[in-house]
Amino acid sequence: MDHREALIAASTNRSNPSEAAPGIEVKGLSLTYPEEPNALTDINLSIPGGEVTAVIGPSGCGKSTLLRCFNRMNDMLEGCSYSGSIILNGLDVLDPATDVTALRRRVGMVFQQPNPFPMSIYENVAYGPRIGGVRRRRELDEVVESALRLAALWDEVKDQMNRNAIVLSLGQQQRLVIARAIAVRPEVLLMDEPASSLDPISTLRIEELIYELKQSYTIVIVTHNMQQAARVSDRTAFLNQGRVVEYDSTDKIFTNPAERATEDYITGRYG
């Protein structure tokens, strides 16, 4: 195992790093809540493991809502109800009996605005492992270091682990939040417009990071930036008004889409 593989092994639950991360099967997923009765309608997606899948579409089309189904964050919405199924590695995500906290440890999430906790850099990354019951300092140190290395932040923060995370730049904060998600050793990473609040250089670093991370995790990214979707993703789903209009390889979607609506959207004629 080379250095990189050792890092990945340390940051995932897989002993064999060449083993791919699991895929996600979405079948007939619909979601309603009082303000939005047709938030999602009959979504069918087969998201392959170890790849980056981008979800694009106009504002309010349900991209974020779809993403939040994968780790059941929509549960926090009042009056929200699902139908259909999402299968992750044999686990029925939407089953009411599913342990949501255990699910969220397998499916990490990165938000639009960097949201580090008001505590030290070290404590931010150690938060998830601590919640998961890791107590030994040595073990925590290792997890924190490998997560920060994998998130390409270690060299910048290794001498200031006890400083408050708020002193970091926005771009650094977003990578810290990614490290925080990685430290829980998830299988899937959900990213909800992870670069939309960042400057171009920080955006580039996040995109490079996504490319690096896809060999270890299945990544689903929501973005309103067409170029970004084209740059980082292997597959792209175009959503409109809560329905999947088209889902195919990113190359196909951006060069030769099957649907007229998709072409209109990515060429900027609509949305």
Partner 1 sequence: MSGDLQRMRYSIESVRAREEKLGAVMSAMTAVATLLALLSVVMFLGFLIFLGGDWLANAQSATSGVDQPVKSNFEVLLWGGAELAVSGGVFPAIVGTIVLTLVMTVIVSPLGIVVALYLTEYAGTGWHTRLLRIGIQNMAAIPSIIYGVFGLAFFVYVIGGRLDNLFFAGNLPNPTFGAPGLLWASLTLAILTLPTVIVATEEGLLRLPLALREGSRALGATRSETIFRVVLPAATPSIMTGIILAVARAAGEVAPLMLVGVVRYAPTLPVSVEAPFIHLEQKFMHLGFFVYDLTMHAPGSEGRVGIVAASGLLLVLVIATLNLAALLLRLRLRRTFLRTGFE
The residue count for binding partner 1 (CB under 8 A) is 27
Residue 238 Cβ vs partner 1, minimum distance, rounded to whole Å: 25
Cβ closer to partner 1: 175 or 180? 180
Residue 184 touching partner 1 (CB under 8 A): yes
Cβ closer to partner 1: 2 or 35? 35
Residue 13 near residue 188, CB atoms below 8 Å: no
Which of the residues 110 through 139 are near partner 1 (CB under 8 A)? Answer: 111, 113, 115-119, 127-128, 131-132
Which of the residues 8 through 37 are near partner 1 (CB under 8 A)? Answer: none
Residue 107 Cβ vs partner 1, minimum distance, rounded to whole Å: 9
Residue 232 Cβ vs partner 1, minimum distance, rounded to whole Å: 21
Burial class (CB in 10 A: 0-12, 13-18, 19+), 236: buried
The contact pattern for partner 1, residues 63-102, with x = CB under 8 A and - = no contact, is --------x-x--x------------------------xx
β-pairing, 188-192 with 218-222? parallel
Residue 170 touching partner 1 (CB under 8 A): no
| Site residues for partner 1 per CB under 8 A | 71, 73, 76, 101-105, 108-109, 111, 113, 115-119, 127-128, 131-132, 164, 166, 177, 180-181, 184
